[in-house]
A and B are shown apart, each in its own frame.
Chain A
Amino acid sequence: MLELKNVSKNFTMHLQGGLQLSVVSGVSMTVRPGECVVLGGASGAGKSSLLKMIYGNYRCDDGEITLQDNNTPVDIAKATPRKILSLRQRKMAYVSQFLRVIPRVSALEVVAGAARSFGVGASEAETRAVGLLRTLNIPERLWALPPATFSGGEQQRVNIARGFVADHPLLLLDEPTASLDAANRAAVVELIDRKKRAGTAILGIFHDEDVRDRVADRVIDVTRFKSAA
């Protein structure tokens, strides 16, 4: 589903006198349908940056990030903005560390809208959204409110619901369980299992060892992709 070949990333901080920060170098890996690959390594190792590069949110300076689009490989590192938007609509969903949504849109609409843009019909999208908000224990009185005022954990669960509501074949998860209690962590583990059984390829970051042990088919230590410099 996803293949990375020799992927490298540097930041040049022009406002700090052109300081060069090497994030990762020479990353190669694959993620197959139905498996959950977990990125390991200490904070700052470049795990989040890798997910952002795959989602097209960060540029990829070097190497190839190949995603299968109906049996046609597409290199995200060189794809046009339109192509990346198209892949985000149809092929990959991303649960970021922090919820970033359009202001003044209700939680239910944030989730249902994500399903509709994937192509799910309006009523089915709402049914799925309601189901996920329930599974993730978001109180019903909050559904009509914009998530900006929610607690960190509630926002994160809305974020998870938005990422899981459609059927994208690739899911990118950046610490989805970080600010959740045990019951909600268990709910997320169950959602991940269901996606895996449905054949979704998952690449994620989980600091919580308990969750990681339960969902990971493989762990890739990102620390080994640090460049020597």
Chain B
Amino acid sequence: MRQPDQYHNEAPLLSVSGLTKFYGARLGCKDVSFDLFAGEVLAVVGESGSGKSTLLSMLAAHSQPSSGTVTYLMRDGIARSVFGLSAAQQRLLLRTDWGFVHQDPARGLRMGVSAGANVGERLMAIGERHYGNIRDTALDWLSRVEIDADRIDDAPHSFSGGMRQRLQIARNLVTQPRLMFMDEPTGGLDVSVQARLLDVLRALVADLGLSMVIVTHDLAVARLLSHRIMVMRRGEVIETGLTDQVLDDPREPYTQLLVSSVLQV
């Protein structure tokens, strides 16, 4: 019997060191360091204003850090500094090897064009020109996120919140990225809709071996999706470790407060 060790040692996909961001004199986040390996899901939790979205926007090269480095293992096997890349190279990464799912789907989708075009656009951006191929691939991805094929020509403004979020995920995954950044992907959705989205996400992560950094204030989402967790408060990482360890045996006062505040159903 083959016994794979999916956690065997290799170079990290994303390596973050000393990442710090000031907005003028105000601290956004301070001295964040971690490695993320292929297939690994890291949840960043903390209350509003803890710096988790600031961190995510720097990781995805949406904003520049005040100090610190982020290196990414590119498909050619070479780890490069993300902030050392040209703007065009950064855009290419964001359109192909990375995905970014916003809490508000309207920020990640083009609301006026069809669902099919939303998914196809990222394919065209990497050079796919054949209309039939693009439509077939779009249909495939819509079905994988459980959107009916007969909605392919409808624009997302006619979709429910949960469908929009699933469409945003399909739009990101169509280029088969290796790394996804997610900012509160279940925020603002009804719980039953959240559940369906989480099922879709969990299945995709398992099937595709994606790496993810997921920012959430929902500890249940972190428990369900992530391997590791990072707790942030006032811009700093206060506790980090294996997800079930941090949630079942929290050490820091603030983490204990977070965990004990979750309502049990």
Interface residues of A (CB under 8 A from B): 11-15, 52, 56-59, 81-86, 89-90, 102-104, 118-121
Q: Which residues of A contact B245 (CB under 8 A)?
A: 56-59, 81, 84
- Asked if B249 and A59 sit within 8 Å, CB to CB, the answer is yes
Asked if residues B7 and A102 are in contact (CB atoms below 8 Å), the reply is no
Tally B residues with Cβ within 8 Å of A. 28
Supposing A15-B257, A56-B242, A57-B244 touch, asked if A86 and B249 sit within 8 A by C-beta, the answer is no
User: Which residues from chain A contact B4 at a C-beta distance below 8 Å?
Assistant: 119
Q: Is the CB of A89 within 8 A of B5?
A: yes
What residues of chain B lie closer than 8 Å to A14, measured between beta carbons? 252-253, 256-257
> Please, which residues of chain A bring their CB within 8 A of the CB of B252?
14
Interface bits B231-265 vs A (CB < 8 Å: 1, else 0): 00000000001101100110111001100100000
B7 to chain A: closest residue by CB: A86
Return chain A residues, CB-CB under 8 Å to B80.
none
Q: Which residues of B contact A15 (CB under 8 A)?
A: 253, 256-257, 260
A sample of 27 cross-chain residue pairs with beta-carbon separation below 8 angstroms, ordered by A number, consists of A11-B249, A12-B251, A14-B257, A15-B256, A15-B257, A15-B260, A52-B249, A57-B245, A57-B248, A57-B249, A59-B249, A81-B227, A81-B228, A81-B241, A81-B242, A84-B242, A84-B245, A86-B6, A86-B7, A102-B202, A103-B195, A103-B224, A104-B195, A119-B1, A119-B3, A120-B1, A121-B1
Report the separation of the CA atoms of residues A164 and B248 in the bound assembly, to the nearest whole angstrom.
24
Residues of chain B in range 1-44 having any CB-CB distance to chain A below 8 Å: 1-8, 37, 40
Assess A82 versus B5: contact at CB under 8 Å? Given A56-B242, A59-B249: no
Task: Provide the bound-state CA to CA distance between A56 and B251, in Å.
Answer: 14
Q: Is B7 a contact partner of A119 (Cβ separation < 8 A)?
A: no
Also in contact, A86 and B8, with CB within 8 A (given A52-B248, A102-B202, A102-B224): yes
Given A15-B257, A58-B248, CB of A118 within 8 Å of CB of B195: no
CB neighbours of A90 from chain B (8 A): 3, 5
Q: Is B199 an interface residue (CB 8 A)?
A: yes
How many angstroms between the C-alpha atoms of A89 and B227 in the bound complex? 13
Q: Beyond the given A57-B249, A104-B199, please list 4 additional residue pairs across the A-B interface where CB-CB is below 8 A.
A: A15-B257, A59-B249, A86-B6, A120-B1
Q: Give the CA-CA distance A59 to B227 in the complex, in Å.
A: 16
Residues of B within 8 Å of A56, CB to CB, are 242, 245
A11 to B249, CA, bound (A): 8
Nearest B residue to A58 via CB reads B249
Q: What is the 8 Å Cβ interface bit string for chain B, positions 76-94, against chain A (1 contact, 0 not)?
A: 0000000000000000000
CB closest residue in chain A, given B4: A119
A32 to B2, CA, bound (A): 25
Question: In the bound complex, how far is the Cα of B8 from the Cα of A7, in angstroms?
Answer: 27
B45 to chain A, nearest CB (A): 15
Can you list, as one digit per residue, whether each of B217-230 has a CB less than 8 Å from chain A (1) or not (0)? Answer: 00000001001100
- Min distance, Cβ A11 to any Cβ of chain B, angstroms: 8
The residues of A that contact B37 with a CB separation of less than 8 Å are 82
Residues in B whose Cβ lies below 8 Å from that of A81? 227-228, 241-242, 245
Q: How far is the CA of A56 from the CA of B245 in the complex (A)?
A: 7
- What's the Cα separation between A84 and B246 when bound, in Å? 13
CA distance A15 to B259 in the complex (A): 11
